[in-house]
């Protein structure tokens, strides 16, 4: 059987597998030790290849970072926002975002720590890159839906629509990042390790807090 001749821009599956492995390796290193501390040589060493092999797939370190954002981080962003149409009730949208954040980090456990290191923290190298990829049209639909429900008397008018998503991401991503970082370490006495590590407990807590705040709910819907 004649061996197929490779065409420009379409690598063999084995080449694609190698590239995917390098992306996975870089993503994990960026999450665990930060982008600034991760060199091309470190990625190569962790992946068991030479730096020349990394440069074969990515011309330079910046191109590698862009590829991680485009082919890994952007998947997270799309998983959160793609289902938003603006037609759903705002409570449904909010709870759906919580569910998708938690379920997506099951597949991308590196994301919460990467978000804290490289987006939230000063000097993070992914902040501007991520902002360029945020679907602001979807974000606007989300905020507009909240505002309409406030006018209809269905949502607390004291809430600021533009800050709702900020609150959701903070309530969700920070505990997930802490859970991964503190997985094998002792916690402060006031922190319940099981609650932090159990994503079912975390989801229930976040949803109840978002729907009812600190007030006792009138109906038994805290498990929504």
* 38 against 181, higher pLDDT: 38
Residue indicated by tokens 């390098």: 22
What integer pLDDT is reported at residue 75 of this predicted model?
96
pLDDT (average), residues 104-130? 94
CB-neighbour burial class of residue 150 (10 A; exposed 0-12, middle 13-18, buried 19+): middle
Confidence of residue 178 (pLDDT cuts 50, 70, 90): confident
Q: What is the mean pLDDT of residues 67-71?
A: 97
pLDDT band at 91 (very low <50, low <70, confident <90, very high): very high
Q: Which domains does the chain have, with CATH numbers?
A: 74-212 (1.10.357.10)
Give residue 167's pLDDT band: very low, low, confident or very high (50, 70, 90).
very high
Contact call for residues 211 and 221 (beta carbons, < 8 A): yes
Q: What is the percent of the chain with per-residue pLDDT over 90, rounded to a whole number?
A: 68
Q: Residue 63: is its pLDDT beyond 50?
A: yes
| Helices 90-107/74-81 angle, 10° precision | 150
pLDDT, mean of residues 143-149: 93
Q: How many helices (H) and strands (E) does the chain have?
A: 12, 0
Higher per-residue confidence, 151 vs 214? 151
Rounded Cα distance between 11 and 60, Å, is 19
pLDDT band at 33 (very low <50, low <70, confident <90, very high): very high
**C-alpha to C-alpha distance for 68 and 125, rounded to whole angstroms:** 12
Confidence (pLDDT) at 212? 86
What pLDDT does 217 receive?
53
Higher local confidence (pLDDT), 187 or 51 = 51
Kindly tell me if the per-residue pLDDT of 5 is higher than 70: no
- At residue 192, the pLDDT reads 59
Tokens 């099981």 correspond to 194
Question: pTM to 2 decimals?
Answer: 0.82
Lowest model confidence (mean pLDDT) among 3-12, 40-49, 93-102: 3-12
Residue 203, pLDDT score: 92
Given a cut of 60, whether residue 55 has pLDDT beyond it is yes
Residue 157 has pLDDT above 50, yes or no: yes
pLDDT at 68 over 80: yes
């Amino acid at each position: 059987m004649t061996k197929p001749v490779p065409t420009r821009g379409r690598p063999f599956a084995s080449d694609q597998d190698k590239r995917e492995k390098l992306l996975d390796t870089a993503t994990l290193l960026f999450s665990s030790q930060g982008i600034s501390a991760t060199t091309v040589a470190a990625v190569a060493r962790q992946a068991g290849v030479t730096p020349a092999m990394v440069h074969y797939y990515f011309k330079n370190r910046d191109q590698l970072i862009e590829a991680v954002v485009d082919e890994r981080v952007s998947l997270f962003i799309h998983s959160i926002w793609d289902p938003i149409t603006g037609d759903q009730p705002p409570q449904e949208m909010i709870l759906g975002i919580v569910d998708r954040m938690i379920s997506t980090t099951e597949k991308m456990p590196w994301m919460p720590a990467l978000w804290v290191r490289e987006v939230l923290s000063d000097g993070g190298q992914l902040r501007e890159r991520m902002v360029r990829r945020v679907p602001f049209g979807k974000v606007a639909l989300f905020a507009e839906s909240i505002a309409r429900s406030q006018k209809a008397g269905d949502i607390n008018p004291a809430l600021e629509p533009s800050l709702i998503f900020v609150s959701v991401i903070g309530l969700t991503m920070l505990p997930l990042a802490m859970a991964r970082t503190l997985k094998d370490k002792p916690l402060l006495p006031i922190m319940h390790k099981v609650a932090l590590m159990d994503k079912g407990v975390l989801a229930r807590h976040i949803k109840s807090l978002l729907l009812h705040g600190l007030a006792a709910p009138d109906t038994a819907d805290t498990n929504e």
